[in-house]
């Protein structure tokens, strides 16, 4: 389930970048350029974080039950 969440966030980040990058003007001088550069930096950090979480999430291991004789079982009894 976690990998699906990271993949969804990565795709949403890519969609936001696809929509926003053509609207930014990095050639201008001033606050507009500063905002565009900062926004792109944060968006790339989000994409990198989600990509690394997607790629390096440890796999869940199934619990292995041993059938040894040391297992103590409780039995419910009605005795006095």
The reply to whether 64 falls in a domain is: no
CA distances from 65 to 60, 61, 62, 68, 71 (A): 16, 12, 9, 9, 10
What local confidence, expressed as pLDDT, does residue 45 receive?
A: 94
Average pLDDT in the 14-34 region? 87
Domain-embedded: residue 35 = yes
Query: Is residue 42 one of the residues assigned to a domain?
Result: yes
Residue 38: what pLDDT?
92
Distance, in Å, from the CA atom of 11 to the CA atom of 19, rounded to the nearest integer, reads 12
Domain count of the chain?
Answer: 1
Q: Looking at residue 30, what is its pLDDT?
A: 86
Please give the residue range of the domain that contains residue 13.
2-55
pLDDT digits (tens, 9 = 90+) for 29-68: 888 888 989 999 999 999 999 999 888 877 777 777 766 6
pLDDT for residue 57: 78
Instruction: Report yes or no: 32 and 76 within 8 Å, Cβ to Cβ.
Output: no
Task: Answer whether residue 9 shows pLDDT above 80.
Answer: yes
Q: Which of 63, 52, 40 is nearest to 6 (CA)?
A: 52
Pair 57, 2: CB distance under 8 Å: yes
């Amino acid at each position: 389930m976690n990998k699906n969440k990271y993949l969804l966030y990565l795709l949403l980040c890519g969609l936001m970048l696809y929509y926003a990058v053509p609207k930014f003007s990095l050639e201008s001088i001033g606050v507009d350029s500063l905002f565009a550069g900062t926004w792109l930096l944060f968006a790339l950090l989000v994409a990198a974080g989600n990509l690394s979480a997607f790629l390096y999430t440890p796999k869940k291991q199934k619990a292995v039950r041993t059938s040894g004789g040391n297992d103590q079982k409780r039995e419910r009894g009605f005795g006095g």
